[in-house]
Amino acid sequence: MAKVDLKGVATVVAKGRTYFYAWRGGPRLKGRPGSPEFIASYAEALASRKTRADGTVRALVANYRSSAAYKDLADSTRKIWARWLDRIVERFGDYRVRLFDHPDKIRPVIRKWRDRWSDQPRSADYALQVLSRVMSHAVDLDKIKTNPCAGIKSVYKNNRAEIIWSDEDLEAFKAKASPEVWWCVNLAAHTGLRAGDLKRLCWTHIGEDEIVIPTSKSGGATSAFVPLYEELRTVIEAIPRRATTVLTNEKHRPWKDGVNGTSFRNVRDAVLSGRDLHFHDLRGTAATRFKAAGLDNREIAELMGWEEATVEKIIHRYVGRKAHVDGLIKKLNRKAS
């Protein structure tokens, strides 16, 4: 009888007898190895396993990885999310997706898994964030009715939305940065756009009165818009047109590794090492500029995608009375004209 090497077959010896299984923990195979009966039962087991896998979290994650929403994420985001998707498969891969349609039963399991990183709050929240996106994908596919991660509170409490770059920080950064890196930072401070959207920003996104760009965070489902106030126009006019994208590197090509990559960090760490400032904190800086330009807190909240209370805290903490009054005067003058 021909010897057949079937990948993954598990062998178990018990009481002097040898048994064969399609895989460890899988169904027992019939007949002797190499016999038609043996091969047929092995093929049947694999077919059955594939059918069962179609409704598992493992299959759902694979489907999400191939989706446009995942492929449209920034390269840096995909790199981080890929690790968490692997961890989700490791923990929940064999779970049936339909089990996640029972929030009261599955949420304690999700919390327990997230709490493996309780000593690293940001990592714990990343675990929940990526799992939540996978479950939202399941909702989109009509696999489940609701996202079981919705309503589970974040572990990390710090709200960096209330941290901004001061004018002194920006001046110090500008003195050390190359023109290309400074254009990135200055544009972020005046638009509030996220790094991924700034990297994708093209001249065609800039209209006569506003910037309109589909956001990478929403997978292009929604668009960010920023009115072209005078200060912002000045910032844009200072950037030369060297490619289809607004921001370019020293070789006059679109940014490849992201506007908040190594070049940005090297300058920040050299001149602002004690400030714990991130590129994302420039969104708070933009909020203060919007206020000084005459927008009210509700309007700023709409532009930034924040809660109005968050904007209020930023304005209260960072916008001086004179800037606030100047903004009101501008707004009143426009209404009177």
Tell me the CATH number at 72.
1.10.150
The pLDDT tens digits of the residues spanning 100-149 come to 999 899 999 999 999 998 888 878 888 998 999 999 999 988 899 999 99
pLDDT confidence of 3, banded at 50, 70, 90?
very low
> Would residue 3 count as lying in a domain?
no
d(CA 28, CA 206): 65
Q: Which of 157, 180, 196 is the last residue of a domain?
A: 157
- Tell me phi and psi for residue 2, to 5 degrees: -65, 145
- Domain extent, residue 331, equals 161-336
In terms of Cβ atoms closer than 10 Å to its own Cβ (0-12, 13-18, 19+), residue 314 is buried
- Give the CA dihedral 136, 141, 144, 147, nearest 10 degrees: 10
* Together in a domain, 105 and 187: no
Asked if the structure places residue 324 within a domain, the reply is yes
The C-alpha atoms of residue 211 and residue 216 are separated, in whole angstroms, by 15
Residue type, 123: S
Q: With a cut of 60, say whether residue 189 has pLDDT above it.
A: yes
Residue 2 belongs to a domain: no
In total, the chain counts a number of residues equal to 337
CATH number at residue 223: 1.10.443.10
Q: Do 169 and 312 fall within a single domain?
A: yes
247 is a domain residue:
yes
In a domain, 90, yes or no: yes
Query: Given its phi and psi angles, is residue 240 left (phi above 0), alpha (psi -120 to 50 degrees) or beta?
Result: beta
Share of the chain above pLDDT 90, in %: 28
Mean pLDDT of 210-227: 78
What whole-number distance in Å separates Cα of residue 330 and Cα of residue 241?
31
Same domain, 144 and 229: no
Whether residues 180 and 287 fall in one domain: yes
Over residues 14-25, the mean pLDDT reads: 78
Looking at residue 85, its pLDDT comes to 93
Query: What is the tens place of the pLDDT at every residue in 42-58?
Result: 887 776 665 455 789 99
Burial class (CB in 10 A: 0-12, 13-18, 19+), 23: middle
> What's the predicted TM-score (pTM) here?
0.50
Read off the pLDDT of each residue in 62-91 and give the average, rounded to a whole number: 86
- Structurally, the chain folds into a number of domains equal to 3
